[in-house]
Structures are given as C-alpha cells and as structure tokens.
C-alpha cells in the first residue's frame, strides 16, 4: 500500500514512460530532489534541537527547510514554478561563498552550485545545464583565487582537488547524466513510436477481425474461446464478453457428424446451434501456426440447407419428368433404351429375348368420342394391365402417344414366331372398362428378336417400327426381316429421287380415252407416268410414296398447269373434249393448290366444262369437313366432280351426301367378273340405277372385252373406259402436229 502510494507520488509508474507529455518525468525528478532535500534539512534541524536541548532558534537551516517544504507542496499544483524557485534557491546559496566565513556553509554552497548543472538538466534541458556549467566557473575562481599554484605542494594539491571536484561534479556528471537522459529520451521516443504503431496495428487488426464480413471466432488448441467478433456473437446469441469468457466452442455449436477430430481441428464441419438445433452452421478452420491458435469462420447455412432440400426435391421431380412418362409412370424412350441396354450388357452371352411395339388402334376415334380425359384413362388402364401381366423381368416403356415398347426374355419355346404371337396376345387385354362402358381393344404389333434382328435397344426399336409399318388390319402381328428393311430403304431412295423428279418436272402426263355408248371418244382421264433408269415405275408405288412424303400438292400443281395449257390450245382449236384429273384429297387440304384452282376458273370460265376433278374415295382425308367445304365451292364454280373407285372406300353412301359429285366411277373390281358373275351384275346394275336416281353420270373402268362393253351399255352406263377402247398414251401423241390426232378423234368401237 505504502509502496504504491510512493510510486504514485513520485510518478514512477511504468505506464508513464510511454506518456506523450515529458512533464511527468521532470515533475517526478523534482519531487524526489525536493523530498530528499527536505529530509536532509529536517534531520539537520532535529539534530540541532537535540544538541541545544530545545533551545535552538531560527537559522538559515530552518529557512531552507521551510522553503523546500513549501516547494514540495507547490510541486503538485505548479511543478514548473517549483522547479524554477528550487533552482534559484540553489543559486542563491552562492552568497555563502561571499558573505559567510563558515567552512560548512561554504562547502554546502559549493556542492549546491556544482550539482546545479545536473539538476537543471533533470528539471529543464541541456542548454540550461550548459549555461549553469559556465556560470559555475566564477564560484570555482572564487574558491581557488589567491592560492599560488607553485608556491608549495599543499597549495598545488588544494587547487587540483578543487579542479577535480569542479570537473567531476560540474562537467563530467552533468554530461554523463545528459547522455543517459538523451538515451532514455531517445528510447522513450522510439518506444512511443513503436507503441503508436502497435496501437494502430492492433486497432486495424481489431477492426479487421470485427468487420471481416464473416462470423469469426478465435480459440486456443484446447477449443477455449479467445475472441469473438460481433457477427459471431450475433450468430451464437452472445450478448456480452462475460458469456463466452472461459467457455469452449462446443458450449455453443455441436457437430452433426462427430468424428475423431475435434471441431476446431477439422477443415470444414457441419454443425447445429446448441441452443437451437434447427439452425445449421458450417465451420471452416484457418490454423494460425505462429500462435498455435485456431480461427474458425462460421456460416449460417440454414437457408442454404432449405434451398438444397428444395432443389433436391425438384431434381427428383425433374428426374421423373426426364426419365418417366408423366401419365403412366413408365420409362420414356430414353430411359427404356438405357434399361434395355443395361440388361443386354449384363446378360449378353446367355440372354435370348424379343422387343415389340404395341400400337393401340382407333385411338383417335376413342379420343374424339369420349374426350382426352377418358382416353387417358384407357391408356393408364392398359399400362397397369400390361405391368400386372408381365413378369418383373420384362422392361416396359411408353414411347409416345399410344405406342408402348416391351422387352422380354424368352425361353426356347417362344423363339418360334407362332408361340411368341400367342404369348403376346395373352398379355394384351382384349377389353378395357371405361366407366360403365366396355371397350374392345385392337392392336398392331411390330416385333424384333434380340441378337437375330439387333443387339442394341435403339436398333431393335427401329426394326420394330419397320415391322409395325408393315402391319395391317388383317395382319396385326408383323415380324421384322431383312427384306422389309431393304424394301423401306429402297422406298426411301425412291422417295428422294421422286422428290427431285417432281422438282425438275420429269414426270409425264398420259391420257386414256373414255368413250360413249356409240364408241366415240368423249373425254380423257389424265394419268401420271414416271420413267426411271429406262423403266416405268408403277403409279401405285410412286403415288403412295408422294402421298407419304407430302409431295402430292406439288405434283398435282405441275399436272394441272400442264393440262390447262393443253386445254387452252384445244379451246382455241374448238376441240371440246374434257380431261379428268385425279385428286387424292391431300391436294385439296393444301391452301396453295386450292387457290390455284379458284384462280384458273376465274381467269378461264370455260375451263369448268373441260376440267373434271376425280376424287379418290379410298383416301382417308375425304371424310374431313374442310374437303367437303372446298369441293362444294369448286362445284359452285362449275367444276365437274367425280367419285373415283366408288364402292371400295369409306362410307360410300355417306360420301354421296357429303360430296357434291355429278359423276360416279365404278371400280374395275366390280367390272372384271362381268358378264359371268350374276352377283356383280346385280351390284353394277343397282349402282347405275342409284346414280340415275341422283341424276349422276356413270363411268365404268377396266373394260377389257366386247361382252363387258355390251353388257354395260345395256345396263345404261353412259361412259366406258378400259384397254378394250384404248390404252393410256403420252399426251404428246394427242397434241403433236398441231393437235392432229385430237382433231380426228375417230371411233374405236
């Protein structure tokens, strides 16, 4: 307690050494000097009282004691003034050398004056100390004045003694103390600079630690918390420093997957907040090797975990959408192929199997009749039945629409086509219940054998598709074979060449005459012919290919323009012979072709009497309402419309109502059995009577004998056509030499 009080009084606290103000050092030195001086004079005064038995009166010693005591008291309030007065008091002691004969008083004065340079250096500065040194030359002179230096040895010794004292006290000690103080002041200055830099760096590091933007904690190698920045305090819900003092990291966060390593020694650790397990925290370690401490960066991953969970669920949903059919939950095309290829790769050496595509027939009609929702129920019911019937070894997928693919492993028995067909029939439901209705199911199936027809899922599917295209209403089951593939390849090549031929207008127009009952040519039917590599391609073949490739509108447009050109020349020559041109329905669905017909009739009104349109009734598009609407428009503009191949297509009697036709053509299949088949005679007769009742003209096709011709004339047929009257020939035969042959048009019957 006393020591601390003395340190505080004499200002010798170590912390003051780095204080920016030097006055504390000088003030402390002043108090020490004054205290010691007061102590000496006080002892002297007491000693005097003891010797004089209490009869000691006021003296210079008492005056000095009073002065120095007052200065010691004043040093607390005004240290600078106290230092000046203290210095002046010491200087005043010079008077003892002049007026006092007391040997001790003179020695006191001399010691005071010689000590003055050190005191002024302590209390003021070096300049003041040097000034006092110079002033002390005069007291030295007074002390040594009048003493002969060489008169005797005693005088010489006294002089050098005084000189030694003067130099030692006045000069040497003063400069030595100045040197020490200079070093101390310089060191203090350096320490002050270092302290400033240290404080600045500490403040920067403290600011950096507090404002890293990341919750950060500093701990020692045992996990004890040393520092926690404000973000970490907020994350860990630490309100003040007392809360984390002497605590460990594990008092605040808990690792999710505990391992052998401690939390602060792991690189990255997933944790939860101990006070709230629903808050997830990710801890990232940064090891500080120099101090053997660990800095841990914390991250609140609660929201990220929620997003990851949501993303994971979305990825699972997307995976289902990407790899499975949304309605049936069966593998889609890509996933089906992947599963089949995996099965093949795993059991390639001893696997025997077959792939087949099941196509649900008449589904468009079902969709139209019951609606899409009900149709989807049928698809779903079929899918469930198929999965229940087939074993788990089978792989089932929905390709698209109403096509399903199956890959099944086979035993030796089912390698035979007949047995495989029976097996497939047994797994396909013959009926499906839709609400209260029972629907009969029809299928078309394309089948390919594994190994024999392909060793990869994609190849097997392609071959199944080829086989499916070859199936029909009469042959529901179709097996792939190389001939079928070769046929499709040839058709593909032929289609490419046909497209090029149509583009270059390389197909020719031929005419077959139609005669009246007197055998006179009354009209022609225009027929397309294509000569390829010196040989004619069957019209049945290339017309179907053109229809499949959507080339009929362009082909028909070329022929119509060619026919109109010929009819225009004949019109100028007064050759009034109509030409019938066949349409399959696809052309009338084409806006451009329909616009061409309407433009031609507007520009050439006489064309309505010479250009006849034959509609092939077997075409599926003939049931389209747009076709009926456009045929009515063409009929209103004067075009003659004929129903070709009557009796062989779809809803023949219904077509008589929907199509505004005025010509009926009886197909050759009804003519060829004549005149020997009474049943066909009755059919032809009733057809002619039906046409007459509807005020329609009748044309019979495929007449090859005189007997057939005579019978048809007798039954009332108006127009006859067939090889008996004339085979088709190039249009150029009728237009050559100025249409010479067309002008003659002699009878051939």
Which of 262-276, 339-353, 410-424, 701-715 is predicted most confidently? Answer: 701-715
Same domain, 645 and 579: yes
**Which two three-digit tokens encode residue 422?**
């029976």
Mean pLDDT over residues 462-482, rounded?
84
CA distances from 645 to 133, 512, 697 (A): 147, 16, 14
Identify the helix (H) or strand (E) that includes residue 527.
strand 521-532
Q: Is the pLDDT at 150 greater than 50, yes or no?
A: no
Same domain, 405 and 439: yes
The answer to whether position 99 is within a domain reads yes
Q: Is the pLDDT at 530 greater than 90, yes or no?
A: yes
Q: Is the pLDDT at 748 greater than 60, yes or no?
A: no
The answer to whether position 58 is within a domain reads yes
CA distances from 573 to 208, 334, 561, 601 (A): 106, 66, 19, 20
The answer to whether position 745 is within a domain reads no
Task: Express each pLDDT in 33-48 by its tens digit.
Answer: 777 777 777 787 777 6
The CATH number given to whatever domain includes residue 471 is: 3.30.70.270
What is the dihedral sign for C-alpha 624, 625, 627, 631? Answer: positive
Same domain, 564 and 531: yes
Is pTM, for the whole model, over 0.85? no
Task: Express each pLDDT in 110-145 by its tens digit.
Answer: 777 777 888 887 777 878 878 888 887 877 777 777
CA distances from 119 to 78, 111, 290 (A): 18, 12, 48
Chain-wide mean pLDDT for the chain? 80
What pLDDT score does 399 carry? Answer: 87
The answer to whether position 706 is within a domain reads yes
Same domain, 297 and 397: no
The CATH number given to whatever domain includes residue 265 is: 3.30.450.260
Query: Which comes out higher in pLDDT, residue 609 or 157?
Result: 609
Number of helical (H) and strand (E) elements in the chain, helices listed first:
28, 23
Partners of 536 in the beta sheet? 531
Write out the residue range of the structural domain in which residue 236 sits: 216-307
Task: Express each pLDDT in 682-724 by its tens digit.
Answer: 989 998 998 898 899 999 999 999 999 999 999 999 899 999 9
pLDDT band at 567 (very low <50, low <70, confident <90, very high): very high
Q: Is the pLDDT at 362 greater than 80, yes or no?
A: no
Q: Is the pLDDT at 58 greater than 70, yes or no?
A: no
Q: How many domains does the chain have?
A: 4
Q: Is the pLDDT at 581 greater than 60, yes or no?
A: yes
Which of 19-23, 197-201, 333-337 is predicted most confidently? Answer: 333-337
What pLDDT score does 381 carry? Answer: 86
The CATH number given to whatever domain includes residue 697 is: 3.20.20.450
Identify the helix (H) or strand (E) that includes residue 702.
none
Mean pLDDT over residues 408-421, rounded?
82
Q: Is the pLDDT at 650 greater than 50, yes or no?
A: no
Distance CA 364, CA 368 (A): 6
Mean pLDDT over residues 656-666, rounded?
84
Residue percentage of the chain with pLDDT more than 70: 85
What pLDDT score does 348 carry? Answer: 66
**Which two three-digit tokens encode residue 124?**
């003021």
Structure-token match 């009257």, residue found: 725
Which of 72-86, 515-529, 620-634 is predicted most confidently? Answer: 515-529
Same domain, 162 and 222: no
**Which two three-digit tokens encode residue 652?**
């023949």
The answer to whether position 746 is within a domain reads no
Contact 489, 545 (CB under 8 A): no
Same domain, 275 and 370: no
Identify the helix (H) or strand (E) that includes residue 129.
helix 126-135
- Residues ≥6 apart with Cβ < 8 Å to 224: 246, 247, 248
What pLDDT score does 8 carry? Answer: 64
Same domain, 554 and 643: yes
Reference 187, options 195, 177, 197, 176; nearest CA is 195
Torsion-angle region of 194 (φ positive above 0: left; ψ -120 to 50: alpha; else: beta): alpha
Distance CA 266, CA 285 (A): 7
pLDDT band at 512 (very low <50, low <70, confident <90, very high): very high
Q: Which of 307, 333, 364 marks a domain boundary?
A: 307
Same domain, 730 and 615: yes
What pLDDT score does 701 carry? Answer: 92
Torsion-angle region of 206 (φ positive above 0: left; ψ -120 to 50: alpha; else: beta): alpha
Q: Which three-class secondary structure state does DSSP give residue 520?
A: coil
CA distances from 329 to 384, 407, 446, 732 (A): 10, 17, 23, 63
pLDDT band at 383 (very low <50, low <70, confident <90, very high): confident
Same domain, 361 and 295: no
- Residues ≥6 apart with Cβ < 8 Å to 652: 617, 646
The answer to whether position 491 is within a domain reads no
The answer to whether position 539 is within a domain reads yes
Q: Is the pLDDT at 107 greater than 90, yes or no?
A: no
Q: Is the pLDDT at 208 greater than 80, yes or no?
A: no
Distance CA 587, CA 552 (A): 6
pLDDT band at 734 (very low <50, low <70, confident <90, very high): confident
Q: Do the bridges between strand 216-219 and strand 640-646 make them parallel or antiparallel, or are there none, so unpaired?
A: unpaired
Q: Which of 464, 480, 496 marks a domain boundary?
A: 480
Reference 407, options 426, 422, 390, 421; nearest CA is 390
Partners of 219 in the beta sheet? 225, 294
Same domain, 528 and 466: no
Mean pLDDT over residues 157-165, rounded?
74
What pLDDT score does 654 carry? Answer: 64
Mean pLDDT over residues 528-541, rounded?
89
CA distances from 66 to 50, 100, 221, 528 (A): 19, 21, 64, 149
Same domain, 558 and 693: yes
The answer to whether position 501 is within a domain reads no
What pLDDT score does 527 carry? Answer: 93
What pLDDT score does 20 carry? Answer: 47
DSSP of 375-403, one letter per residue? Answer: HHHHHHHHHHHHHHHS-TTSEEEEEETTE
Of 279-288, 407-416, 489-498, 653-662, the range with the lowest mean pLDDT is 653-662
Identify the helix (H) or strand (E) that includes residue 58.
none
Of 68-82, 223-237, 386-400, 418-432, the range with the lowest mean pLDDT is 68-82
Mean pLDDT over residues 390-417, rounded?
85
Reference 465, options 447, 481, 483, 451; nearest CA is 447
Reference 712, options 423, 519, 576; nearest CA is 519
What pLDDT score does 6 carry? Answer: 62
Same domain, 132 and 157: yes
What pLDDT score does 705 carry? Answer: 92
Q: Which of 128, 161, 184 marks a domain boundary?
A: 184
């Amino acid at each position: 307690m006393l020591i601390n009080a003395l340190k505080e009084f004499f200002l010798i606290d170590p912390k003051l050494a780095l204080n920016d103000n030097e006055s504390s050092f000088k003030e402390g030195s002043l108090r020490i000097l004054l205290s010691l001086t007061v102590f000496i004079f006080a002892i002297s005064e007491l000693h005097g009282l003891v010797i004089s038995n209490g009869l000691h009166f006021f003296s210079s010693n008492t005056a000095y004691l009073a002065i120095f005591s007052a200065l010691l008291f004043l040093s607390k309030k005004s240290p600078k003034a106290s230092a000046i007065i203290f210095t002046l008091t010491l200087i005043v002691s010079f008077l003892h050398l002049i007026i006092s004969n007391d040997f001790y008083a003179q020695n006191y004065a001399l010691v005071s004056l010689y000590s003055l340079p050190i005191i002024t250096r302590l209390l003021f500065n070096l300049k003041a100390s040097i000034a006092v040194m110079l002033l002390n030359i005069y007291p030295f002179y007074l002390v040594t004045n009048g003493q002969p230096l060489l008169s005797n040895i005693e005088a010489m010794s006294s002089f050098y003694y005084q000189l030694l004292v003067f130099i030692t006290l006045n000069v040497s000690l003063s400069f030595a103390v100045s040197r020490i103080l200079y070093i101390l002041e310089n060191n203090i200055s350096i320490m002050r600079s270092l302290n400033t830099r240290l404080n600045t760096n500490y403040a920067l590091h403290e600011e950096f630690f507090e404002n890293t933007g990341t919750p950060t904690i500093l701990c020692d190698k045992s996990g004890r918390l040393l520092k926690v920045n404000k973000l970490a305090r907020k994350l860990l819900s630490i309100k003040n420093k007392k809360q984390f003092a002497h605590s460990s990291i594990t008092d605040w966060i808990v690792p999710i997957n505990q391992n052998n390593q401690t939390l602060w020694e792991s690189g990255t650790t997933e944790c939860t907040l101990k006070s709230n397990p629903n808050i997830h925290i990710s801890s990232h370690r940064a090891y500080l090797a120099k101090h053997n401490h660990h800095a841990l960066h914390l991250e609140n991953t609660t929201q990220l975990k929620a997003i990851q969970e949501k993303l994971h669920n979305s990825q699972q949903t997307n995976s289902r959408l990407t790899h499975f059919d949304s309605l049936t939950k069966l593998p889609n095309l890509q996933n089906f192929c992947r599963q089949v290829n995996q099965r093949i790769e795993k059991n390639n050496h001893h696997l025997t199997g077959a792939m087949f595509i099941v196509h649900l027939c008449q589904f468009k009609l079902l969709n139209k009749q019951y609606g899409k929702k009900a149709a989807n129920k049928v698809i779903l019911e079929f899918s469930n039945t198929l999965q229940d019937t087939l074993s788990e070894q089978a792989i089932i997928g929905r390709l698209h629409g109403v096509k399903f693919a199956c890959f099944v492993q086979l035993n030796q028995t089912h390698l035979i086509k007949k047995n495989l067909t029976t097996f497939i029939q047994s797994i396909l439901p013959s009926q499906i219940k839709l609400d209260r209705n029972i629907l009969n199911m029809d299928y078309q199936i394309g089948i390919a054998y594994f190994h024999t027809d392909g060793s990869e899922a994609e190849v097997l599917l392609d071959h199944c598709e080829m086989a499916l295209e070859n199936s029909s209403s009469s042959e529901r089951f179709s097996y792939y074979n190389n001939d079928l593939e070769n046929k499709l390849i040839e058709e593909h090549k032929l289609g490419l060449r046909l497209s090029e031929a149509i583009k270059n207008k390389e197909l020719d127009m031929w005419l077959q005459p139609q005669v009246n009952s007197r055998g006179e040519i009354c009209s022609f039917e225009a027929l397309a012919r294509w000569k390829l590599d010196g040989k004619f391609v069957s019209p049945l073949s290339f017309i179907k290919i053109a229809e499949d490739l959507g080339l009929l509108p362009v082909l028909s447009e070329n022929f119509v323009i060619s026919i109109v050109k010929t009819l225009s020349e004949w019109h100028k020559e007064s050759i009034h012979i109509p030409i019938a041109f066949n349409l399959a329905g696809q052309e009338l669905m084409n806006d451009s072709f329909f616009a061409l017909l309407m433009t031609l009739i507007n520009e050439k009104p006489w064309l309505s009497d010479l250009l006849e349109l034959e509609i092939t009734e077997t075409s599926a598009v003939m049931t389209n309402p747009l076709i009926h609407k456009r045929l009515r428009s063409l009929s209103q503009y004067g075009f003659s419309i004929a129903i070709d191949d009557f009796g062989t297509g779809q809803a023949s009697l219904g077509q008589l109502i929907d199509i505004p036709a005025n010509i009926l053509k009886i197909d050759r299949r009804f003519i060829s059995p004549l005149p020997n088949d009474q049943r066909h005679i009755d059919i032809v007769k009733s057809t002619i009577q039906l046409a007459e009742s509807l005020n329609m003209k009748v044309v019979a096709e495929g007449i090859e004998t005189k007997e057939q011709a005579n019978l048809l004339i007798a039954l009332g047929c108006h127009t006859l056509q067939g090889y008996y009257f004339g085979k088709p020939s190039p249009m150029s035969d009728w237009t050559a030499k100025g249409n010479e042959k067309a002008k003659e048009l002699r009878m051939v019957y």
